[in-house]
Amino acid sequence: MQKKQLSACLPEIGPTETRRPRGRLAFTLVELLVVIAIIGVLVGLLLPAVQAAREAARRMSCSNNLKQISLAIHNYESAYKKLPPSWTNTVSGKGWSMQARILPFIEQGGLADGIDFSQGYGASTLSVDGEDIPISSYRVPTYQCPSDPLDQPRYGDDGPEYYKLNYASNGGTWFVFDPSNDNIGEGMFGPNRYMGFRDCLDGLSNTLALAEVKGWTPYYRDVATAGDIAMPDQAEIVCTLGGSFKTETGHTEWVDGRIHQAGFTTTFTPNTKVLCSSSGAEYDVDWTNMREGKDITDPARTYAAVTSRSYHVGGVQVGVLDGSVRFVTDSIDRELWQGLSTRKGREIVEWP
């Protein structure tokens, strides 16, 4: 009797009927679009932050490379009681760079063992599986800025021939080398010259050792103008000085000690645009009057406007001769920048 009364109180449900849920099970189109828009805004905010974090990491890695090279220079000086030259003359004129001489002090002793400094850099090879590989084609990790987008070898007729670098030695302000008397410029590293820390009369903390440069830089070379050449006051003057134009081979040979490959000058402040046109295209160029050792019968001096350039925004990182690493902004005063590159200019330098 109780079962009948209970069933009489319940609503009757047919065999094909189901209970309807009280809430909705889906988003409306407007709600979906709002969610997508919010996600898009968040991604838009996140991506620049990620890129900034990556660039900060790359810049830190670049700074670490400069620190290692600076310490290697000090270790070289401790071992030999002198600093390495920027370039030394050989029969072929293809003199080795300062960067090549400090290889044992950046944990590249195996590569250094294959070098014969009495011969030009094109003559040294390492045998790998019975094949002779040019020393010049090896990638030296410490010489590569992680922000450089073109980290690859430069190819010749027989395959990889050279590898670039992003850290150059201080060659002074403008004048680099006079082959008639072996005079050198005001920098801390000069052709055919083994100097010491005692030659830095301005003080190690006031003198540049290294600065960033861009691989694959276009440049003019070998116009071979005789006599003195006045330092250009403006970048556009460089375009009138002439020479043989190379579209992308500057700073692509870490073995080559010549100023346009392994050095820099402070003719212009960091990242100055030296824009010249060639064959209908505009290039940001370097310029050198005569490559060191190019022609021993030609007394033309080497003058060079080889600008320090960086892939980091706002300036360049430099290695100071005391072993420290600093960031120099593009807006640095030109006179101050040039004073930092001289070893005995007697300037009173205050870091910006």
pLDDT tens for residues 293-312? 887 677 899 999 999 999 99
In a domain, 17, yes or no: no
Q: How far apart are CA 90 and CA 117, in angstroms?
A: 9
Read off the pLDDT of residues 254-285 as tens digits, 9 standing for 90 and up.
999 999 999 999 999 999 999 999 999 999 99
Q: What is the pTM of this model?
A: 0.85
Q: Is residue 19 part of a domain?
A: no
Question: Would you say residue 350 lies in a domain?
Answer: no
Q: pLDDT tens digit string along 46-87?
A: 777 666 778 788 889 999 999 999 999 999 999 999 999 999
Residues 6+ away with beta carbon under 8 Å from 126: 111, 114, 132, 133, 135, 138
Query: Rounded to whole angstroms, how far apart are CA atoms 270 and 318?
Result: 10
Closest CA relative to residue 214, chosen from 157, 151, 161, 256: 151
97/127: higher pLDDT: 97
State the residue range of the domain holding 179. Answer: 54-340
* Chain mean position to CA 234: 24
Using the predicted structure, report yes or no on whether residue 99 has a pLDDT greater than 80: yes
pLDDT 10s digits, 324-339: 999 999 999 999 999 9
- At residue 303, the pLDDT reads 97
30 lies in a domain?
no
- Please give the pLDDT value at position 45: 75
- Is 32 inside a domain boundary? no
Q: Which percentage of the chain shows pLDDT scores above 90? A: 71
pLDDT confidence of residue 12: 54
Q: Number of structural domains, the chain?
A: 1
Mean pLDDT over residues 9-32, rounded?
Answer: 60
State pLDDT tens for residues 140-196.
Answer: 999 999 999 999 999 998 899 999 999 999 999 999 999 989 999 999 999 999 999
Residue 254: inside a domain: yes
Q: Say how many residues make up the chain.
A: 352
What are the counts of helices (DSSP H) followed by strands (DSSP E) for the chain? 6, 17
Does residue 8 belong to any structural domain of this protein?
no
Confidence of residue 20 (pLDDT cuts 50, 70, 90): low
Q: What's the pLDDT score for residue 2?
A: 47
pLDDT of residue 29: 77
Determine the Cα–Cα distance for residues 230 and 267; give it in Å rounded to an integer.
11
Domain annotation covers residue 316: yes
Rounded Cα distance, 174 and 338, in Å:
9
Q: Are 73 and 279 in contact (CB under 8 A)?
A: no
Predicted confidence at residue 5, as pLDDT, reads 52
Residue 139 CA to residue 99 CA, distance in Å, equals: 12
Average predicted confidence (pLDDT) for the chain: 89
Q: Does residue 200 surpass a pLDDT of 90?
A: yes
Cβ–Cβ under 8 Å, residues 208 and 200: no
Q: What is the mean pLDDT of residues 9-17?
A: 52
